């Protein structure tokens, strides 16, 4: 029988999409999740696999989303007898439902490789490609009339100074190392794309001249001001490898900034690939996301449908609905 967990992780890695893995590491009966059960949670909030149903499912989705946003793993404890803890990386959920069981699930985010676009085929560009690959970057090489010998093992090769067909995100890095060959065109292309960093290998005098050109071409001055030039941390670099090291160091500094780069967006059910994707409603009693397609209970309160994960939450809400709806609207 094929290992679907492994298949799902490999497929998402191939797509270069963020996801999280969840595995049941401890359990006290009764609980539907058993030790060793595991699942993958994709960027749409879909659970591929099994770690438990009901409230557990909603909690895992919520914590997986936070793990992908923060880049931090966590141990999630769920049960009626769970006691508050101040341990770092441990999240506790005291259940309000009738279940007496306890389950502990380890959730780990798996983030895409950082993406670097290098424009130019100069010695510095080639050194940067080589060093960034060793550092684990996914690389797009862009150069006029480039061929397979221009760069060392890029993931994507563009043979003209154009980024029209290059997909970037707010976490991508772009370095222009054209050094006199279509500098203007390269910078225009770079500024049109989403990125966390645009570096330009040039002197301050050259950058000042091109800043005026870009402003005249209609680019916002605040956007132009974000270009890092000279690119790289000042380490008194002399040769192409040293310059590339200084640029890579600056990129790593940006990449490891706090909070982490925005390579993950909030779950968007409208982009999901299947018609069965969950749509979540935050239970106003316990704060747990409830799958609106499969809730335990639905109550209509003042013209609004309220979804619940268990009997306990429903009963608490019915006892004082105004209290919980007021709390929900202020969150």
pLDDT 10s digits, 81-133: 766 667 888 988 877 655 567 889 999 999 888 999 999 999 999 999 999 99
Instruction: Reply yes or no on whether the pLDDT at 289 is more than 80.
Output: no
Please indicate, yes or no, if residue 9 is contained in any of the structural domains.
yes
Q: What is the mean pLDDT of residues 153-181?
A: 94
Its domain, for residue 226, covers 115-255
Please indicate, yes or no, if residue 271 is contained in any of the structural domains.
no
> Three-state SS for 39?
strand
Please indicate, yes or no, if residue 268 is contained in any of the structural domains.
no
Clarify whether residues 133 and 71 are in a common domain.
Answer: no
Check residue 30 and give its pLDDT. 73
DSSP state letter for 228:
B
Instruction: Reply yes or no on whether the pLDDT at 32 is more than 90.
Output: no
Domain stops at, among 50, 77, 110: 110
Clarify whether residues 124 and 246 are in a common domain.
Answer: yes
Instruction: Reply yes or no on whether the pLDDT at 199 is more than 70.
Output: yes
Phi and psi at 233, nearest 5°, equal: -80, 140
Clarify whether residues 122 and 251 are in a common domain.
Answer: yes
Instruction: Reply yes or no on whether the pLDDT at 192 is more than 90.
Output: yes
Q: What is the mean pLDDT of residues 16-25?
A: 93
Angle between helical axes of 123-134 and 240-255 (0-180°, round to 10):
50
Angle between helical axes of 204-216 and 183-191 (0-180°, round to 10):
60
Is the pTM of the predicted complex or chain greater than 0.85? Answer: no
Please indicate, yes or no, if residue 261 is contained in any of the structural domains.
no
Distance CA 213, CA 72 (A): 43
Please indicate, yes or no, if residue 260 is contained in any of the structural domains.
no
Look at the chain and report how many structural domains it folds into: 3
Cα dihedral sign for 225, 230, 235, 236? negative
Region of poorest pLDDT, from 58-67, 225-234, 268-277, 303-312: 268-277
Domain stops at, among 81, 110, 139: 110
Distance CA 31, CA 101 (A): 5
Angle between helical axes of 321-330 and 311-319 (0-180°, round to 10):
100
């Amino acid at each position: 029988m094929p290992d679907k967990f492994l298949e799902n992780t490999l497929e998402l890695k191939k797509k270069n999409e963020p996801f999280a893995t969840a595995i049941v590491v401890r359990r006290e009966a009764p609980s539907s999740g058993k030790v060793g059960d595991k699942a993958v949670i994709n960027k749409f909030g879909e659970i591929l696999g099994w770690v438990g149903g009901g409230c557990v499912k909603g909690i895992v989705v919520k914590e997986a989303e936070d793990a992908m946003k923060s880049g931090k793993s966590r141990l999630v404890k769920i049960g009626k007898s769970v006691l508050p803890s101040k341990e770092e990386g441990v999240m506790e959920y005291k259940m309000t439902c009738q279940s007496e069981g306890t389950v502990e699930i380890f959730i780990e985010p798996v983030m895409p490789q950082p993406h670097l676009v290098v424009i130019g085929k100069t010695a510095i560009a080639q050194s940067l490609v080589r060093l960034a690959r060793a550092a684990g970057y996914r690389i797009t090489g862009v150069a006029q009339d480039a061929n397979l010998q221009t760069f060392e093992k890029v993931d994507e090769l563009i043979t003209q100074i154009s980024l029209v067909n290059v997909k970037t995100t707010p976490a991508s890095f772009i370095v222009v190392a054209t050094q006199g060959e279509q500098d203007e065109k390269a910078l225009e292309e770079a500024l049109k794309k989403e990125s966390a960093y645009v570096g330009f290998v040039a002197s301050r005098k050259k950058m000042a001249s091109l800043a005026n050109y870009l402003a005249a071409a209609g680019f916002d001055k605040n956007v132009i001001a974000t270009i890092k030039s000279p690119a790289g941390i000042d380490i008194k670099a002399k040769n192409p490898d040293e310059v590339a090291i200084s640029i890579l160091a600056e990129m790593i500094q940006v990449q490891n900034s706090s909070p982490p780069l925005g390579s993950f967006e909030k779950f968007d059910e409208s982009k999901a690939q299947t018609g069965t994707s969950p749509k979540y409603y935050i239970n106003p009693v316990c704060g747990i996301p409830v799958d609106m397609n499969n809730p335990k209970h639905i109550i209509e309160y003042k013209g609004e449908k309220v979804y619940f994960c268990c009997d306990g939450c429903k009963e608490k809400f019915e006892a004082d609905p105004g209290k919980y709806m007021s709390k929900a609207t202020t969150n």
